Each structure stands twice: as structure tokens, then as C-alpha cells.
Amino acid sequence: MSETPVILQTRDLRKSFGGVHAVDGATTTFYEGKINGLIGPNGSGKTTFFNCVTGMIRPDSGTITMHGRNVTGWAPHRIARAGLGRSFQLCRVFPRMTVLENMLAAVQPASLREYIGNAHHRRTVERARAMLERVGIDHLENSEARDISYGQQKLLELGSTLMTDPPFVMLDEPAGGVNPSLIERIAVLVRELNSEGTTFLIVEHNMDLIMSLCDQIVVFDRGAQIAAGTPDVVQSDPKVLEAYLGV
């Protein structure tokens, strides 16, 4: 993939919690316009890496470069403004708001006046409804988020992430705890958005999903990259088998 533009690079990234080296010298490259995957056994540092890259936690050392810009240590809102949308491993929806209200809350109005302005509000509602249809939960728009299933909440979370039209979307375990038909819906949506130009970085435990969805996969073990390449290359790498089987 040497000619493909790079969207995200980390160099010797490290983050420890007490004596635990969660991310331990991660040097990685992810590509623009692709569906990138990050896999690894439980506890291999994927979520910590994800949180460093999205600015949720500050790495102890190393660098993070996005679109060629050094964004190490930037706050999440600044990274988001630089073009990164994100979704959370733990579902973050407002439980007592309706599905539609959750979608509207994802959009930061430029000003209160703009928000109150009817035309703007109408456009935002239309967009929210179109997005709900796309993620397949438009029939639930008036339900409170706490009353819909966990899988539907994940779809709501994905939909609200997409409300701001981010060019780069990072998802941490979008399929975790989601039933197979909803996983398939997520996969279809990711493929569609990718064909429209959205870059993805998907951290996932579900190997089948990652292998069928991703163009390029980075494999972590013990906080660092042990392999990278296309699904075929990664799957036949003995280091990867070893990490997963724990030999």
C-alpha cells in the first residue's frame, strides 16, 4: 500500500497504567480511503491505543500524526474538528432522550440563533431522519433510547457519529454484543460510506467481520504491532496465530 495516502501514523506510542504497559511501543500506519482494521487478543491495548489517538487519554511518549499533522496530546474536540468522528466502545447515548433527539444532540449548532432558526432546524431534522433510515432504526425515532435494544443503541450511536459527516471514522467494537443481522447492517453501511469516500479504522474482536470488511489490518499483541497487511497476509502469519492461540 506504499502509494496509498496515509491518514494516521503512530511512532513508538506508549501508555502505561501503573505497571501495566497497555500500549508498548506501537508503530502503525493506516490508510486514507480504506477500511482499516485493528485486531488483537483481549487486553492487547487496542482500546488504549484508540483512546490515545482520539485524544481521550494522553500517551506517555511517542507521536501521533493525522493527515501529516502532529496531533499528539491534542484534546478530543480539537482532533474531532480536524476531521475525526468517533464512536465509543461503551454505548454513549442519552437514555432519556428519544432516538431522534439523540441524533439532533450530535450536531453542535454554530450559534443558538442558528439553532432556533426554523430552516436550519428543519434541515437538521430531515438529515437526522434520513440517517436513521440509513442505519435502519427510523421506525424508533420517538422511542426513548433506554427502551431500544443494545444493538439498536449501537446503531443509534453510529448514526449520531455520522451526523457531522466525518471524513474519518474510528469505531471501537461496533459489533460487540450486537446480534448477527444488525452486524450485517453495520457492515453494509460501512462499505457504502467507504465507497462514498469515508475512511474507517475499526477495532474489533469479531475476526469474521474484520476479515470480510477490511482492506488493511494491523494486529496488536501486548501493546504493539506484530503484523500488518491484507486479510490474507495477516491470517496466514504465524505470529498472529501464536498471539491468538496464546502458544
Q: Judged by CB under 6 A, does residue 43 bind ligand ADP?
A: yes
Range in contact with ligand ADP (rule: CB under 6 A) among 43-51, 160-168, 178-186, 224-232: 43-51
Closer residue to ligand ADP in complex, CB, 17/150: 17
- Residue 20 binding result from ligand ADP, Mg ion, none, given CB thresholds of 5 to 8 Å by partner type: ligand ADP
Per the structure block, which three cell numbers stand in for 133? 433510515
Q: How many residues bind Mg ion (CB under 5 A)?
A: 2
Q: How far is CA 82 from CA 29, 77, 110, 168, in A?
A: 18, 9, 16, 10
Long-range contacts, stretch 73-82, CB < 8 angstroms, 24+ apart? 79/54, 79/55, 80/54, 80/166
The single residue among 29, 47, 51, 198 that binds Mg ion, judged by CB under 5 A, is 47
Is residue 9 within 8 Å of residue 30, measured between CB atoms? yes
Q: Judged by CB under 6 A, does residue 60 bind ligand ADP?
A: no
Closer residue to Mg ion in complex, CB, 62/176: 176
Q: Judged by CB under 6 A, does residue 40 bind ligand ADP?
A: yes
- Minimum separation from the CB atom of position 183 to Mg ion (A): 17
CA distance 1 to 9: 14
- Residue 43 binding result from ligand ADP, Mg ion, none, given CB thresholds of 5 to 8 Å by partner type: ligand ADP
Q: Judged by CB under 6 A, does residue 17 bind ligand ADP?
A: yes
- Between residue 87 and residue 146, which ones bind ligand ADP under the rule CB under 6 A? none
Q: 6-38 as b/e, with b when 16 or more CB fall inside 10 Å?
A: ebbbbbebbbeeeeebbbbbbebbbbebbbbbb
- Residue 137 binding result from ligand ADP, Mg ion, none, given CB thresholds of 5 to 8 Å by partner type: none
Closest CA to 200 of 84, 48, 107, 46: 84
| List of residues contacting Mg ion (CB under 5 A) | 46-47
Residues that bind ligand ADP (CB under 6 A): 17, 20, 22, 40, 42-48
